[in-house]
Amino acid sequence: MATIVIRDTEEIIKGQEKVQAFLESQEVLYEHWDPTKLPAQLQDNCHITDDEKAQILTTYDEDIRSLAERRGYKNWDVIALNENTPDLDSLLKKFEQVHTHTEDEVRAITAGSGSFVIKGADVGYFDVQLEPGDVISVPVDTPHFFTLSSERQVVAVRLFIDPEGWVAHKFNDPAFTSN
């Protein structure tokens, strides 16, 4: 289940209802897909083949199509990051710059973990720490970045309106300090 940490106040928000209510107040969609739906060998497994990626999409087909229909997403795929990912460190450095997109950034975590750091409407930056089953949509034009947790591995379903819309636009924010 996702945990929120508000950076300025160090307030921690836990529990599905509270997390959902907070994210709703920030216009960030959050939902939960049953992580135990996955075949056992894909649970907690971030080293997956292309066939296994397809299996993840089949497992969550109903959830994916429901979300896509509600939000207008047209394409989806699966991304896996782990210690074998070429240039993981430089990739993470690139990820960890505050940026925006011209469409929502949607991730459903199916294994591993990671955080979105998002600029809230009125609370400054907050971290959304995600684990398997957590589904988030960072709204269009909202400054954010993604980072892995200390386990440094994740598998996520991504949904797009247009994969071209995923281009990152750097957001220079003097108010942002990483910690």
Residues forming the site for Fe ion (CB under 5 A): 105
> Nearest distance from residue 30's CB to Fe ion, in Å?
16
> Nearest distance from residue 45's CB to Fe ion, in Å?
25
When the beta carbons of 41 and 178 are compared against Fe ion, the nearer one is 178
> Nearest distance from residue 133's CB to Fe ion, in Å?
21
Using DSSP's 3-state secondary structure scheme, residue 99 falls into strand
User: Closest residue (Cβ) to Fe ion?
Assistant: 105
> Nearest distance from residue 116's CB to Fe ion, in Å?
8
How many Cα atoms occupy the beta-carbon half-sphere of 111 within 13 Å?
22
Instruction: Give bridge partners of residue 138 from the DSSP assignment.
Output: 105
> Nearest distance from residue 145's CB to Fe ion, in Å?
6
Is there a binding annotation on residue 32? no
When the beta carbons of 45 and 143 are compared against Fe ion, the nearer one is 143
When the beta carbons of 105 and 134 are compared against Fe ion, the nearer one is 105
Is there a binding annotation on residue 169? no
Sheet holding 144-148, edge to edge: 12-13, 3-6, 125-130, 114-119, 144-148, 99-100, 169-170
When the beta carbons of 38 and 117 are compared against Fe ion, the nearer one is 117
Instruction: Give bridge partners of residue 99 from the DSSP assignment.
Output: 144, 170
Is there a binding annotation on residue 144? yes
CB 76 within 8 A of CB 145: no
Estimate to the nearest angstrom the gap between the alpha carbon of 82 and the chain centroid.
16
Least Cα distance to 23 among 157, 127, 162, 114 occurs for: 127
Is there a binding annotation on residue 105? yes
CB 130 within 8 A of CB 115: yes
Please report, in range form, the residues annotated as the binding site for Fe(2+).
99, 101, 105, 144
Please report, in range form, the residues annotated as the binding site.
99, 101, 105, 144
